[in-house]
Structure 1
Amino acid sequence: MDASMLEQLEIIRDELQCFVCKRVLEDPQCLTCNHNFCRVCIENELRKAVSKCARCSIPIRPTDVRRNQFLDGLVAEWKFVEAAIDASRPSYDAGSVIAYLSNFASVAHRAS
């Protein structure tokens, strides 16, 4: 995958990120100000004496929160994309990395 494609995917992932926990949204909830957060993050905010949107600071009430089904579907699709990207990356077990580095070190030592 080329660098520009990876940059675009990073931008998309950033847009799907919760402003509070910084992870990809889990069960996205939308506020009346149209900012989206994970359900757990919003529930934690609503437990406070004065609850506010973490992005724009407007006061919020439980009735201001609704599930964002569109974004939930988009996040589900993103997780498939992310899994495909991860599967395409080479993975290395610790043993093979240690063997490679040991071999490299012995070759470098002989060369010096």
Structure 2
Amino acid sequence: MRYDKKTVKQFILNYHKTIDNSKECDEDTSIDDFFSVNSQVDVEPIEENNVEESIFYNEIETLVEKAATDKEFCIFWLLAEGKTYKEVGRIFEVSGERVRQVFDRVLDKIVEG
């Protein structure tokens, strides 16, 4: 697939605004909970508002996994999660401008690839 670099960049940098992480559940499940037959699980319907965005993100993420180094993938992921260039730069002990350059290089890899 061919992607427009500007469109992909804008999508990734704004992706965190389209996802709702408030419904994630990381609670521990004990063995007793796992095998409990009597407890009823609340089923929540899947929101279909952002299906296209999720599909597009997954396609891009797959391309980045194939083309990028581990560090480049982490930068991509952190930016998609809503971190700024400066925040990511602090994590990797580089400038925000360097993070932007690495991100642009990753986008070049997937757009040209």
**Structure 1 length as normaliser, TM-score?**
0.30
- Relative to total residues, which structure has the larger strand share, 1 or 2? 1
- Relative to total residues, which structure has the larger helix share, 1 or 2? 2
**Structure 2 length as normaliser, TM-score?**
0.29
Structure number with bigger Rg: 1
Between the two structures, name the one with larger relative contact order (CA 8 Å, sep ≥ 6).
Answer: 2
